[in-house]
Structure 1
Amino acid sequence: MVMPGFSSIRLPIQIRLFIALAVTGALLVSLWDQIAPFADRRPGVLGPLIASELMIGGLIGLMTRFYILALQFMGSAIAMLIGYGGMNGPGIEDGEPESAIGALISFSALLLLFVFDFHHEIVRALVDSYEIVPVDIAFRPQAALVDLTDTLSESFFVMLRIGSPFVAYAILVNLTVGFVNKLTPQIPVYFISLPFVITGGLFILYFSIGTMLSLVADSFVPVTIGR
């Protein structure tokens, strides 16, 4: 429901269900010794355990989801900073409208994460969660909120590093255009300068997108799972 890529509306619900059942069956084989002692058939005991495990799984998925949401936010911000965010199109992963630059960056990063098998790291985090939080220990909301807050903070810090060249570019360009507009108020400088602003931003994107995607991939595990 919340894992990046698999939670996309473009992925049929039947496929998501089959993936969940397949992963559950695969993990049950290796985790049976840790789960079997607590497999009490009484609803009063089994119900809270199931609810706790669902919330722990949702926490792991939300931490990775926050990272992708921060990337989508920065992609939209980059499009706005270089003047390319005037018209939004359909989003790649969800149904929300998204700028072309933002969709390109988020989809490229998501594809890169799957190419490097980072979705396996999420499954590994599910396995490790049974050692960090055994089945008999209930879900801890305070610790979960701390993890989510830290993930959100670190994710936006990484995305700010990614978007910093475009922030600096937007400040310099807008100051320059503003000064020129003051010198020649009778000419609509902003409309004339817009193609040059977009061209400069696209040049920066062309030379920096490799480094941007590399930073996204390198920071995924330490920010979302390495806690």
Structure 2
Amino acid sequence: MLMPGLSSVRVPVQVRLFVAVAATGGLLAFLWDRIYPFVDPRPSAYVPMMVSELLVGGLIGAMTRLYMEALRFIGTAIAMLMGFNNMGGPAIEEPEPQAALAAIISFSSLLLLFVFDFHHEIIKALVASYKVAPLDAFFDPRVALVDVTDTISDSFFLVLRLGSPFIAYAILVNLTIGFVNKLVPQIPIYFISLPFVVAGGLIIFYFAVGTLLSLFVDGFVDLTLAR
């Protein structure tokens, strides 16, 4: 429901269900020793365990989702700063329209994360969760809130650093255009300058997109290991 890529609206619900069942069966063989000691013959004992497990799994998926949403945010911001977001197109994961440049960034980052086996990191996090939060311990909302807050902070600081060249470019270009507009008010400077602003932003994007995506993937691994 929350994991980037598999939670896309383009992935059928049946596929998500089969992936969840397959992952559950595969992990059960390795986690049986950690699960079997807590098996209780009373059916009522399973209710808090199921609720706790759902919350822990949702927390793991939400942290990865927040990391991807941070990149989606900066992708939309980059398109806006370049003046290249006038027409929204189909998004990669969400049903809402998205700027073409932001969709390219989101799709490329998601593809790289799968190429570099980021879904393996999610599986490792699921296995490690049985050490951090065993079945006899109920879900701790205070610790979960701290994790979510740290993830949001780290993710948005990272994407702001990645988008800093475009922020600086937008400030300098718009400041220059504003001065020119004040000096020569007779010229419709906005319509004249827009193609040059978009072209300059696309040139910066051409040279920066490789480094941007590389640092984003490295940040995902660091974030996963830190959590």
Task: Pick the TM interval, shorter chain.
Answer: over 0.9
Aligned ranges for residues 1-227 of structure 1 at < 5 Å? 1-227=1-227
Unaligned runs of 5+ in 1: none
Deviations 1:175-213 (A, max 9, x none): 000000001101110110000000000000000000000
Structure 2 counterpart of 1:84, one-letter code: F
- 8 Å contact kept, 2:10–2:93: yes
Deviations 1:112-131 (A, max 9, x none): 00000011100010001101
Structure 2 counterpart of 1:62, one-letter code: A
> Aligned-pair distance for 1:226?
2.2
Deviations 1:49-71 (A, max 9, x none): 01001100100000000000000
> Aligned-pair distance for 1:152?
0.4
> Aligned-pair distance for 1:225?
4.5
After the TM superposition, list the runs of 4 or more consecutive aligned residues in structure 1 that deviate by more than 6 angstroms. Answer: none
Q: Distance in 2 between matches of 1:8 and 1:83?
A: 27
- 8 Å contact kept, 2:3–2:61: yes
> Aligned-pair distance for 1:47?
0.4
With the length of structure 2 as denominator, give the TM-score of the two structures: 0.98
> Aligned-pair distance for 1:5?
0.3
> Aligned-pair distance for 1:43?
2.7
Structure 2 counterpart of 1:79, one-letter code: A
Structure 2 counterpart of 1:20, one-letter code: A
Structure 1 counterpart of 2:216, one-letter code: V
- 8 Å contact kept, 1:151–1:224: no
- 8 Å contact kept, 1:56–1:139: yes
Deviations 1:70-109 (A, max 9, x none): 0000000000000001111111111011000000001100
Structure 2 counterpart of 1:44, one-letter code: S
Q: Distance in 2 between matches of 1:144 and 1:80?
A: 33
SS of the aligned residue for 1:98 comes to strand
Alpha-carbon RMSD across the aligned residues, in angstroms, is 0.8
> Aligned-pair distance for 1:221?
2.0
> Aligned-pair distance for 1:224?
3.9
Fraction of identical pairs, as percent: 64
1:165 and 1:82, CA in 2 relative to 1: closer, same or farther beyond 3 A? same
Structure 2 counterpart of 1:201, one-letter code: G
- 8 Å contact kept, 2:3–2:62: yes
Q: Distance in 2 between matches of 1:54 and 1:224?
A: 19
Structure 2 counterpart of 1:130, one-letter code: Y
- 8 Å contact kept, 1:67–1:224: no
SS of the aligned residue for 1:143 comes to helix
1:225 and 1:4, CA in 2 relative to 1: closer, same or farther beyond 3 A? farther
SS of the aligned residue for 2:136 comes to coil
Q: Distance in 2 between matches of 1:42 and 1:6?
A: 35
